[in-house]
Amino acid sequence: MSGRKFFRRLVRSVVCLTAGLLTFAACAYTDYRLWPLDLEAPRYPALPAPHIQANRLVLPFAPGVASAKVTTFHDQLEAFLHFEYLRGREARNGGDTSRILLTAIDTATGPSYEVFIVCDNDLLTAVPHLAQLEGRNLIARYDLNTWTAKDFAYYQQQSHTFDVAYGVPTEQKLESLNSFQLLPALARFLVFKSQTDNRVIERSDAAPRPLTREQATQLAADILDVAKFYSLPLDYFLGVGAMENDYMDVNGDLTHAVWKKRAQRDDIVLRRGRKRVMVSDYAMGTWQITRETLRAAHHLYLKDKRDYSMLPARLRPPRVLNLNSVDDAVLTTYAGLLLRGLLDHFGGDVDKATGAYNGGVKTPNPAYAAGVKTVAEYARRVLEHATALDDPASEAKNPATTTQSAGPTPSGVQAPSSTPAPSTTPPATALQQKQPWRRDDD
């Protein structure tokens, strides 16, 4: 056999082998792409099966305990405030508040706090109820979910732990907390109150915008500075701000007017009569101080002997008042001065003083004073517990970190994995102490 024939056969063999390999590869690829794959079967049917229960049609959607996740937060205090607010609104409408749960889970970015509503395992009743809450702007959205009985018991215990943590007395009282400790929690409280203002919730045409975190932080710092400067009870000062405008910088009724003998500087004259004029007297800003009351407050300021250099510059009133251009920060100072004057006038009686802030010295408004007191007690409880839970130094003494009356702290949490039972093991050191909502085997 000549060399030429051998070379031709070799080339033919290589070509045939290559063609065979390419054909095999093509068949294998086609088989990989077209061969049916095994899919994981769902835990329950994709389409619910209706049936008749107690003489009515029921459309179940969950094999276990039916629930709906309605909101998620990454801040513990914010989550608890909205959780309590939702329960309060449901209680007002005769709903079962025990079906609203606050839970906590670990995420890659830190702890996440979720609010769930345990609902009927029936799409025909659960969806309309959730849609009603959504329509009332109490929840932004909802995701239907299902739990096992073990998970449900665990989440109930977890939610109860939050309740206990924010309900037990704290060792540190509001009066003993400094501005540095109070500022973060107070700012979050102001944001929450503005977000849950009735005008905002009802989405009315005149609804103001809720405070941003930056606005709330600045206002919180101003409130703390003014309360300290005038030696005001912080909780009642906060109650006045909540009753007036939920801390939002929005003017009151622009049509409000009063008659007076003669017009003064900066007055907006609406009508002139015999020997008197009608001037605009609308209420201004966060503290809803009317124009005429603001003029009286400025006279008190000019006579006041306190050293106003102790206040930040942005809070100091000018020597000459311009009613048509008053900064909201300065209004906080005027509000503090008015409340301080009323407290002095009534010998420290906060109920009469706060009632007079709204109704006047001669006719204090008891209903207004009761509203201020309600907010004051709520603000005190929230701020005392929030600062205690945020302060690592207080964990050893704070009842909120014990295993029996404990509450959540801002560190992470664990998803359910076993039976939720209280731990009987003595707590470890402060750095190794297990958070009270964790399970025994976490």
Give the whole-angstrom CA distance, residue 106 versus residue 441: 15
The reported pLDDT for the residue numbered 44 is 52
Q: Can you give the three-state secondary structure of 153-213, one letter per residue?
A: HHHHHHHHHHHHHCCCCCCCCHHHCCHHHHHHHHHHHHHHHHHCCHHHHCCCCCCCCCCCH
Tokens of 82: 């909205």
- How many CB atoms are located within 10 Å of the residue 27 CB? 10
The reported pLDDT for the residue numbered 52 is 84
The reported pLDDT for the residue numbered 189 is 96
- Residue 439, Cα to own-chain centre: how many angstroms? 27
The reported pLDDT for the residue numbered 388 is 78
User: Which fold would CATH assign to domain 177-390?
Assistant: Lysozyme (1.10.530)
Strands 110-118 and 269-273, by their bridges, are unpaired
Q: Are 189 and 383 in contact (CB under 8 A)?
A: yes
The reported pLDDT for the residue numbered 379 is 95
The reported pLDDT for the residue numbered 98 is 92
The reported pLDDT for the residue numbered 386 is 87
The reported pLDDT for the residue numbered 425 is 38
User: Which fold would CATH assign to domain 51-165?
Assistant: Alpha-Beta Plaits (3.30.70)
Average pLDDT value for the chain: 84
* Residues lower than pLDDT 50 in the chain: 394-442
Phi, psi angle pair for 7, to nearest 5°: -65, -40
- How many CB atoms are located within 10 Å of the residue 172 CB? 16
The reported pLDDT for the residue numbered 410 is 37
pTM, two decimals, is: 0.76
Give the whole-angstrom CA distance, residue 225 versus residue 234: 10
Domain ranges of the chain: 51-165, 177-390
